Amino acid sequence: MSKILFATRNSNKLREAQEILVDLELLSPTVISALKNIDPAETGATFEENAKLKARAYGRASGLPVIAEDAGLEVASLNNQPGVHSARFIAGADRDRYLKVLDLLKEQTDRQARFVAVICWYDPANNETKLFRGTVTGQIAQEPRGTSGFGYDPIFIPKGYDQTFGELEANVKHQLSHRKKALSAFYDWWQARSVNLLT
């Protein structure tokens, strides 16, 4: 089984990714002492820039091939906020952030939104970088619903469904999610690359 460092300290993201990439062993930075103090600032203006910053920082510090993710919620009537600032939109916990989004939407009729995830592959051995993007469209609920998932899941209703990501079963959410789409695109590329390396 191939080992790849997943540049996140978010146990929810790591668990979700491992459930999707079942044939790969994802290593957490928390088990590698050399990475204890690695915490690159997410200063990029796009998800792609932030994913690259993280992948390169962890790859160069560890010498291991890395995947890193940047993801967030874009709400159309809020000029695509919180966007790349989703994890730090306001101080506090996930609940504080999604309640702030609901508060900002109180007077809005357009509740269209989308989740975006970008996966960056980086191999420090040859400086190879690849990007993979996944999106899922939907709308923001009137109130939080459900306790599954994390982040903004309790307020996001994917297109074609009545339930929020916070209410959907994990296996259903995985099939729909932005993270699944980006990770699946990476995995398809990884498998094709592995075959090419063997021939």
Catalytic positions, written as ranges: 70
Spatial neighbors of 168 by CB under 8 A, at least 6 apart, are 146, 148, 149, 158, 161, 176
Chain length of the chain: 199
| Cis omega (within 30 of 0) for bond into 154 | no
Q: Which residues pair with 112 in a beta bridge?
A: 139
Residues 6+ apart with CB under 8 A from 121: 55, 65, 66, 67, 128, 129, 130, 131, 132, 186, 189, 190
**Contact assessment for residue 178 and residue 136, using Cβ atoms and an 8 Å cutoff:** yes
